[in-house]
Amino acid sequence: MQLYGIEITSRLLLGTAQYPSPSILRDAITASGTEIITVSLRRETVDGSGAGFWAGLRALNMHILPNTAGCYCVQEAVTTAHMAREVFGTDWIKLEVIGHADTLQPDVFALVEAARVLCGDGFKVFPYTTDDLVVGEKLIEAGCEVLMPWGAPIGSGQGLRTPDALRSMRAHFPDIPLIVDAGIGRPSDAAHAMELGMDAVLLNTAVAKAGEPAKMAHAMALAIEAGRAGFAADLMEPRDMAVPSTPIMGLAKLA
């Protein structure tokens, strides 16, 4: 998988929020096999109390994908992205511009405008978006080379609410990396996303809030690998009726 010219082997991107402790977070990251972890700028406070958290993540030698979580307008998202670039030393940014407080659905109008500004400022933007094809086209026109459609509301664990729309995105954007972001609650959800042809899955809460985060991270990694292998093998389509797997010829005849 190529993301802005960088080859990535693991198709699991892992968030770093809500874990019971830094050691549990590190264990989960290791068990997942991920190469990309997302980090909120809000963990890096002005008084420097987040320094230990950041130092611990930096020691893991991962690709860092800062995000603009909690931003509700263009200017707020752009300012946060610039601050994140200074703090984390990367021009990668997961762009979130929230439009609805209850569902955390993206404000796609502000998202496209913020993406246009940040791409113009040299950022490599990973936009958290809906599964709308027109919005996807506008984000690509703005300079994005990756799309991150939601599976369901952030932290809901509902799985993929609109699999047909995600399948349409895969057909409409055959050469654009598609990463399902948000809503994944179970390994089967992650496998489902990959069976639809998605390139990767980004998740956080399902692992962080699991009884054993490291085991859940490993389970998600296995599910993603299995789903991707199934898609590559060309999955059979569902049928309306039974089709016998044993040929009729050669059956015994009763006298």
pLDDT 10s digits, 11-61: 999 999 999 998 999 999 999 999 999 998 765 544 455 556 777 777 788
CATH code for residues 11-232: 3.20.20.70
The pLDDT of residue 240 is 86
How far separated are the first and last CA of the chain, in Å rounded? Answer: 62
Residues belonging to the binding site are 155, 182-183, 204-205
**Which helix H or strand E contains 219, and what residues bound it?**
helix 213-232
For residue 108, CA distances in Å to 42, 76, 131, 232 come to 23, 15, 11, 31
209 part of the active site: no
pLDDT at 83 over 90: yes
What are the sequence ranges of the domains in the chain?
11-232
Residues belonging to the binding site for 1-deoxy-D-xylulose 5-phosphate are 155, 182-183, 204-205
- The active-site residue, picked from 94, 124, 209, 253, is 94
Q: Report d(CA 24, CA 30) in Å as an integer.
A: 10
Percent helix, percent strand, percent coil in the chain, to nearest 5: 40, 15, 45
pLDDT at 216 over 90: yes
Averaged confidence pLDDT in the chain: 91
